[in-house]
Amino acid sequence: MKIAVLIKSVPDSEARIQLASDGKDWVRKDVKFDLNPFDEYAIEAALQLKEANGGPVTVVSFGPAEIMETLRKALAIGADDAIHAVGEANADPIVTAKVLANAIQGRGFELILAGKAAIDDDYMAIGTMVATALDLPAVSVVVKFTIADNKATCEREIDGGIEVVETTLPAVITCQKGLNEPRYPSLKGIMAAKKKTIEQLEVVVDVPMVTVEKYTYPEPRKGGRFLGKGVEDVPELIRLLKEEARVI
Partner 1 sequence: MKILVWVETINGKAIGSSLGTLSEARVLAGEGAVAVLVFDGAAAGECGKFGADEVYVMNNQALQTYSNEGYAAALQQGMTASGADTLLLTASVAGRDVAPRVAMMLSAALIVDVTSIKVDGETITAIHPVFAGKANQHLTTSAGKKVISTRPKAFLPQEHQRAGTVKEISVILPTIRAKVIETKVVSGGRPLLTEADIIVSGGRGLKAPENFHLVEELADALGAALGASRAVVDAGWRPHEEQVGQTGKTVSPSLYFAIGISGAVQHLAGMNSAKTIVAINPDAQAPIFKVADYGIVADAFEVVPKLIELLKS
Residue from the set 4, 77, 129, 193 that interacts with partner 1 by CB under 8 A = 129
55 binds partner 1 (CB under 8 A): no
216 binds partner 1 (CB under 8 A): yes
Residue from the set 56, 121, 180, 205 that interacts with partner 1 by CB under 8 A = 121
Q: By rule CB under 8 A, what string of x and - marks binding of each residue 176-215 to partner 1?
A: -xx------------------------------xxxxxxx
Nearer to partner 1, 152 or 198 (CB): 152
Which residue type, as a one-letter code, is found at position 247?
Answer: V
Residue from the set 139, 147, 175, 198 that interacts with partner 1 by CB under 8 A = 139
Query: Strand, helix or coil at 164?
Result: strand
Residue 75 to residues 32, 123, 139, 240: CA-CA distances in angstroms?
Answer: 19, 26, 25, 56
Residue from the set 160, 188, 195, 243 that interacts with partner 1 by CB under 8 A = 160
Name the DSSP class of 192: H
Identify whether the C-beta of residue 139 lies closer than 8 Å to the C-beta of residue 152.
yes
36 binds partner 1 (CB under 8 A): no
| Residue 36 CB, nearest approach to partner 1 (Å) | 12
150 binds partner 1 (CB under 8 A): no
Nearest-CA neighbor of 7 among 93, 82, 110, 86?
82
Name the DSSP class of 50: H
128 binds partner 1 (CB under 8 A): yes
DSSP 1-21: --EEEE--EEE-TTPPP-B-T
| Residue 152 CB, nearest approach to partner 1 (Å) | 9
| Residue 104 CB, nearest approach to partner 1 (Å) | 16
Nearer to partner 1, 66 or 233 (CB): 233
For residue 26, give every residue at least 6 positions away whose Cβ sits within 8 Å of its Cβ, in sequence order, or none. 17, 18, 19, 20, 215
Beta strands 81-86; 57-63: pairing state: parallel
Nearer to partner 1, 191 or 245 (CB): 245
